[in-house]
Amino acid sequence: MPVARLSSRALIAVTGPEARPFLHNLLTQDVETLSEGELRFGALLSPPGRLLFDLFILGQAEGVLLDVAADRRDALIQRLSMYKLRARVQVAADDRPVFAAWPDAPTGFIPDPRTPLMGGRLYGPATADATEADYDAHRLSVGVPDPAADAPQDKTYPIEADFDLLNGIDFHKGCFVGQETTSRMKRRGSIKNRMLVLDFDGPPPPFGAEVLKGELRAGEVLSGKGGSAMALLRIDRLDGELTVEGRPVRLRKPAWMGQDVLPSSTD
């Protein structure tokens, strides 16, 4: 079973007697009911409801450990410090490494809360026998977006990045930053775009390359490698032949995505 160190991820420890209620009121995920050793997936949004930080949330006896994009860790620490005001909370970087194993979660690894197909994660020392590129290829094979790579900061709604389908939003927990817009999109079914995988022959198109259905814009390519790439696509323009830079591409619906998410003609 492959194990890779994820150098693109880093940790933040949030501790103190008010750590859980503090994060519960900010994040898309329920933090107050998080058990020690349990891992959940969520995000911190902007007030208008767009993605700022994707994160995993690990319950600990003294608080919570956040697994975040390494190049955004300092920015998240700064934002959390801005929100905490007089809350009895400490926010600090944690230097333990992040590892992932797949396709299952071996002993010592915590199951990935997005889908069992993503394996598990471990925080602390481990021995790697694979690379982060190998893990990224597996992620694309499963069809799971990487918001840190695929969602430009403060431009993408979490539902567009499939957070609602990957256990990243608790719609029953009450208020969180950006909750009004997120709940309204889900309640009204006003979801126009989704991140989905495109398969193709040859190297991946560049980030931002236009996806066309005939002459109509159907979306844009995001991160990719090998013969696959994540793309942000209009779900009402997926029922015909798609091309990128003149090349045919093939839409692949992931196994974890429900039957009613896309128009039936694309299933």
Retrieve residue 215's tokens: 């002459």
Residues in the chain: 267
Q: Do 196 and 141 belong to one domain?
A: no
Q: Total domain count for the chain?
A: 2
Provide the residue type at 23 as one letter.
L
**Domain-located, residue 90:** yes
pLDDT tens by residue, the chain, 267 residues: 999 999 999 999 999 999 999 999 999 999 999 999 999 999 999 999 999 999 999 999 999 999 999 999 999 999 999 998 888 999 999 999 999 999 999 999 999 999 999 999 999 999 999 999 999 999 999 999 999 888 877 889 999 999 999 999 999 988 999 999 999 988 877 789 999 999 999 998 999 999 999 999 999 999 898 899 999 999 999 988 999 999 999 999 999 998 777 876 565
Q: Decide if 121 contacts 44 (C-beta within 8 A).
A: no
Q: CA dist 247 to 194, 230, 242, Å?
A: 21, 16, 8
Residues 96-120 have pLDDT tens digits of 999 999 999 999 999 999 999 999 9
- Domain of residue 199, residue span: 192-257
Retrieve residue 47's tokens: 């007030």
Provide the residue type at 181 as one letter.
T
Q: Do 124 and 21 belong to one domain?
A: yes
Long-range own/partner contacts, residues 90-94 (CB < 8 A, 24 or more apart):
90/13, 90/14, 90/15, 90/16, 90/19, 91/12, 91/13, 91/14, 92/12, 92/13, 92/15, 93/10, 93/11, 93/12, 93/13, 94/10, 94/11, 94/12, 94/13, 94/65
Closest CA to 11 of 67, 52, 50: 67
Residue found by looking up tokens 């403060």 in the block: 154
Q: Do 29 and 138 belong to one domain?
A: yes
Residues 198-207 have pLDDT tens digits of 999 999 899 9
Radius of gyration of the chain (CA): 19
Query: Which residue blocks in 122-263 are alpha helix, DSSP H?
Result: 132-142, 147-150, 179-188
Name beta bridge partners: 232.
Answer: 195, 220
CATH number at residue 117: 3.30.70.1400
CATH number at residue 209: 2.40.30.110
**CA–CA distance, 228 with 65 (Å, rounded to integer):** 32
Q: Do 34 and 132 belong to one domain?
A: yes
**Domain-located, residue 73:** yes
Of 118, 150, 182, which residue sits at a domain end?
150
Q: What is the pLDDT of residue 264?
A: 62
Residues 76-86 have pLDDT tens digits of 999 999 998 88
**Domain-located, residue 166:** no
Of 124, 150, 176, which residue sits at a domain end?
150
**How many CB atoms lie under 10 A from the CB of residue 95?**
8
Q: Decide if 208 contacts 177 (C-beta within 8 A).
A: no
Residues 7-32 have pLDDT tens digits of 999 999 999 999 999 999 999 999 99
